[in-house]
Amino acid sequence: MKIMSVRHAVPSCVVTNEEVVRRVTLASNGAMQHGGAPRVEARIRDFLNRAGTLTRNTLGADETAIQILRSAVDQALKAANVKATDLDFIIYAGVSRGWLEPSMASLVQREISANNAACFDVMEACASWMRAMQVARALCVSGTYGLGMIVNCECATADLAPWHLDSEDDLERSLAAYTIGEAATATVVSGEAGSDLYVTMRSFGEHCDLCMIPLANAGSFLDSFDDVRHAPNRFYSNSDQLFKSTIRYLWDTYSSDPVLSVRQHDLFVSHAASAKAGEFVARKLGASDQRWYCTHARYGNTVAASVPLGMSCAIDDGLLHRGTRILAIVGSAGISVGFLSITF
């Protein structure tokens, strides 16, 4: 399978760390007593500094998620020089969505009049794009389909972060949410023969509750319910434990894989819920600063959009071009980890 194009779009509103602190302070509006507000502000600043988050983009007042998604899709189709009606399938691979039913991919089909495309969604937290690439490869290799597009739109996420805090204790569920940024990506793929695409992924479900966005009925699926960890439609992450476990699983997967251990790569494109965690992974993999590409500092944690966003930005920066051997890396809630190796 060949990647014919990968493009991105981001909202116009740039949010700094100081703006995050300001929003929390205003939303809490004196709710925290006994000097809690200064400690909360200091903890937020410290966490974002340790994560390596500088800015993130969010929807402006007159912007909508579908506008950002449509921009990424239009760019990708143009770059691949294909028409929407040529697409055999569309996979929506992201966490942010407007509904659970029907597929978000069906919305994309309607928006671009891709009347011949089969539509379905793949959801695996931040690993959704990579899992969708694995599924797309299977569809292409089997001969089921020949041309497709993988899209995501990690936008309209502002409500995932609890801006209003009643006490310093509320930060337990909030800190990682303040790193989230918004972006949409579209990746056009074809079943062209001779590609060296290789994907390996592993899942460790015993850690599924380390990072969650629960629905209102989450308690029906859990033996024990925690009002903080399982608050409906709120992002929760036990960041320290999640990072430690994910980094260990990433290294174990990479070092034990017979294909990855012998392949050479020119560019490493990483998802990172934390830029600092990504830097640690880079050192473990032996990737120099010049070969390591991560968008976290500029765009924050863009969830399932992060790897294709990184590829698209690397193209714009002149670092990724035809013939570049890339290794994409993702570790996500689940826990799921994965590597995608391909000559672009």
Is 278 a member of any domain? yes
- CA 170, 171, 177, 178: dihedral to nearest 10 degrees? 120
Residue with tokens 């949010």: 15
Domain assignment present for 251: yes
Here the tokens at position 201 are 């992924």
Cα 256 from chain centroid? Answer: 25
Tell me, yes or no, whether 214 lies in a domain: yes
Give yes or no for a contact between 165 and 20, defined as CB atoms under 8 angstroms apart: no
Q: 336, 200 in Cβ contact below 8 A?
A: no
pLDDT tens-digit profile of 278-294? 888 988 888 888 999 99
Any domain includes 250 = yes
Q: Name the average pLDDT for the chain.
A: 92
Give the residue, 305 or 192, on which the prediction is more confident: 305
In a domain, 233, yes or no: yes
Contact (Cβ atoms closer than 8 angstroms) between residue 186 and residue 78:
no
Instruction: Give residue 309's pLDDT band: very low, low, confident or very high (50, 70, 90).
Output: very high
User: Which H or E element spans position 296?
Assistant: helix 296-299
Q: What pLDDT was estimated at residue 35?
A: 62
Alpha carbons 309 and 293: distance in angstroms, whole number: 11
pLDDT digits (tens, 9 = 90+) for 151-200: 999 998 877 888 888 777 778 777 899 999 999 999 999 998 778 999 99
Supply the DSSP string of 32-67, one letter for each residue.
S-TTHHHHHHHHHHHHHHHHT--EEEE--TT--HHH
Among candidate residues 220, 224, 188, 189, the one with its CA nearest the CA of residue 209: 224
Is residue 91 in some structural domain? no
How many domains does the chain contain in total? 1
CB 80 within 8 A of CB 151: no
Convert the pLDDT of each residue in 240-298 to its tens digit.
Answer: 899 899 999 999 999 999 999 889 999 999 997 888 888 889 888 888 889 999 999 99
Residue 63 has pLDDT above 90, yes or no: yes
Kindly report the CATH number assigned to the domain that includes residue 212.
3.40.47.10
Q: Residue 280: which domain range? A: 198-343
In a domain, 284, yes or no: yes
**Residue 139: inside a domain, yes or no?**
no
